[in-house]
């Protein structure tokens, strides 16, 4: 038996499937599902990536590492996909970037896939631009809630934030201390519209969550929220 330190780009055992999501407006989106190798998942992460016009895609490092680690460490299913017009090492999704408007179809296609596949306890996990999609469209879907990583709140209106007061869904936002777009004190003001939201201010972190300490904190927080029995994540694993 060997011990593996869980660092950087380590990829733990999982079942991986590359496939296409089909949107209601006729597009095919590149997607990958990572599942626990030998057991059923206890919850499902539907990940929404950062801004594609600024280099964001389904393989952005936090989501790549989530797919590499969380099926094994936390019994989670991790769905990643490129929104319309987005390219990554996995391929290019059809369509064109629409600033968060037509991407509503992309979110719907991902949630529909999870529902039809019978995957349990779905959560939206947005990062940067992906948080805007989660905030705009999360209330419309059968998900337990949304986890927001570095929300910039550039494209989300106060009216869209207020919609979260009308649904029974959990909302948690991780706010980096040194975020380029929305710092903790600013987030407290903007999110005050929402009656029930957990704001997690992360010391020394930046918008892109660079470094293993930042990565581990994000994956730990996701696990705490969706499968607390697996929290905190281990620093090494015996295989």
pLDDT digits (tens, 9 = 90+) for 73-114: 999 999 999 999 999 999 999 999 999 999 999 999 999 999
Looking at residue 180, what is its pLDDT? 95
Which tens digits make up the pLDDT trace of 202-224? 999 999 999 999 999 999 999 99
Cα separation of the two ends of the chain: 6
Q: How far is CA 164 from CA 91, 127, 148, in A?
A: 34, 18, 13
- Distance, in Å, from the CA atom of 55 to the CA atom of 40, rounded to the nearest integer, reads 33
- Distance, in Å, from the CA atom of 53 to the CA atom of 46, rounded to the nearest integer, reads 21
Domains and CATH numbers, the chain: 3-238 (3.40.50.1820)
Q: Enter the pTM of the model.
A: 0.98
List of residues 6+ apart from 97 with CB closer than 8 A: 52, 53, 83, 84, 85, 86
Looking at residue 1, what is its pLDDT? 56
28-35 and 236-238 beta bridge pairing: unpaired
Helical segments of 90-169, H only: 103-116, 129-137, 158-162
Where does the pLDDT of residue 146 fall: very low under 50, low under 70, confident under 90, or very high at 90 and above? very high
């Amino acid at each position: 038996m060997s011990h593996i330190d869980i660092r950087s780009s380590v990829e733990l055992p999982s079942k991986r499937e590359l496939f296409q999501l089909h949107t209601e407006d006729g597009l095919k989106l590149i997607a990958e599902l990572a599942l626990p190798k030998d057991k059923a998942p206890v919850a499902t992460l539907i990940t929404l990536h950062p801004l594609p016009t600024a280099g964001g895609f389904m393989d952005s490092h936090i989501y790549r590492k989530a797919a590499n680690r969380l099926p094994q460490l936390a019994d989670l299913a991790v769905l990643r996909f490129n929104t319309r017009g987005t390219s990554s090492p996995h391929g290019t999704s059809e369509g064109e970037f629409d600033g968060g408007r037509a991407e509503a179809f992309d979110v719907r296609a991902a949630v529909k896939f999870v529902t039809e596949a019978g995957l349990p306890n779905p959560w939206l996990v947005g990062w940067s631009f992906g948080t805007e999609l989660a905030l705009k469209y999360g209330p419309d879907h059968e998900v337990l809630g949304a986890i927001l990583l570095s929300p910039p709140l550039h494209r989300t209106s106060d009216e869209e934030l207020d919609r979260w007061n009308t649904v029974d869904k959990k909302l948690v936002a991780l706010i980096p201390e040194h975020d380029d777009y929305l710092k903790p004190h600013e987030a407290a003001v903007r999110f005050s519209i929402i009656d029930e939201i957990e704001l997690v201010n992360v010391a020394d972190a930046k918008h892109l969550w660079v470094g293993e300490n930042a990565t581990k904190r994000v994956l730990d927080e996701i696990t705490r929220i969706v499968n607390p029995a697996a929290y905190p994540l281990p620093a090494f694993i015996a295989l």
